Structure 1
Amino acid sequence: MTGRRLVVWYNTRCPVCDAGIDWQRNKLLAAVRAGDISFSDINEQPDALAGFGASLDDIRRRLHATDETGRLIVGADVVIAMWKVTPGEGWLASLFGNRLMLPLTRFGYDRFADVLFAWNRWKGHW
């Protein structure tokens, strides 16, 4: 991931999100150590993406990230960006991130995120 810095914001209080990001971070250990990608808990800096108009609940609902240009990436696009740089997972980015599949990928991700967000609220994972 040379020259590209991706900062992924997620909700550590969500057990599913925390486990998923922990698993992904371990696969990206070399990139994390090199500073090419980092993972940040939105609960520690709840206003971190306020400049983009993203609320704390927005970030708790869907993954958010910023790239090397400072552009905001949201939802399934964050997952695809991580797959692109994860050894052995580039094929997932190609499959689910191509122009034909991307609308379906985003739809599926958003529905899953909505259910997970509702579950977290119900369980009090704030």
Structure 2
Amino acid sequence: MAVDPISSAPPVVVEAARPHTVYYNSACPVCDAGVCAMRARIDARDVEWVDVHRNPERLAALGLDLESVRERLHLVDAEGRLQVGATALMTTWSLQSRWGWLLKPLSLPGVRTLTSWAYIAFARLLYRWNRSQGRW
């Protein structure tokens, strides 16, 4: 199962209207800018974008905690599996031809673990910064 190796999130399988559903937090300006850039490059038929800041009720069906999704990107893939953090980000990148070249080196065993750790550290700092700014 392609889930963040560092994450403790239990595997969740759900049915989706589109092949992928990305859960993100628009209240974070860095996250919002990243998602806006990805949305411009990914076919709308491939991804449903769920802004948990504006639609927190969408998390109930998945059993997800709002604070967890505010901290890290979450994605339900085409097979209905929940992906969190770096794994979710790399799956989203895989839907953009522009970033395909980056996936190969980031998928190498040691590099993948370091990427996950770096993502978690950055996401945690970004989450704390957003909270200190009173964004939620």
- 2:54 is paired with a residue whose SS is coil
Q: Look up the match of 2:24.
A: 10
- 1:88 is paired with a residue whose SS is helix
- Structure 2 distance, partners of 1:5, 1:100, is 29
Deviation of 1:25 after TM superposition, in Å, equals 1.0
Aligned length: 119
Query: What residue ranges of structure 1 are gaps of 5+ in the alignment?
Result: none
Cα RMSD after superposing both structures: 1.5
Matches within 5 A, 1:43-82: 43-82=53-92
Percent identity of paired positions between Structure 1 and Structure 2: 38
Letter in 1 for 2:127: F
- Structure 1 distance, partners of 2:105, 2:60, is 32
- Structure 1 distance, partners of 2:63, 2:112, is 24
Deviation of 1:83 after TM superposition, in Å, equals 1.5
CA offsets, 1:20-79, max 9 Å, x none?
110111122xx21xx111211012321423344420000000000111222111000111
- 2:53 is paired with a residue whose SS is coil
* TM-score between both structures, scaled by the size of structure 2: 0.81
Q: Look up the match of 2:118.
A: 108
Query: What residue ranges of structure 2 are gaps of 5+ in the alignment?
Result: 1-17
- Structure 1 distance, partners of 2:57, 2:107, is 29
- Structure 1 distance, partners of 2:106, 2:76, is 20
Q: Look up the match of 1:96.
A: 106
- 1:101 is paired with a residue whose SS is helix
* TM-score between both structures, scaled by the size of structure 1: 0.86
Q: 2:41 aligns with which of 27, 33, 48?
A: 27
Q: Are the counterparts in 2 of residues 47 and 55 from structure 1 also a CA contact under 8 Å?
A: no
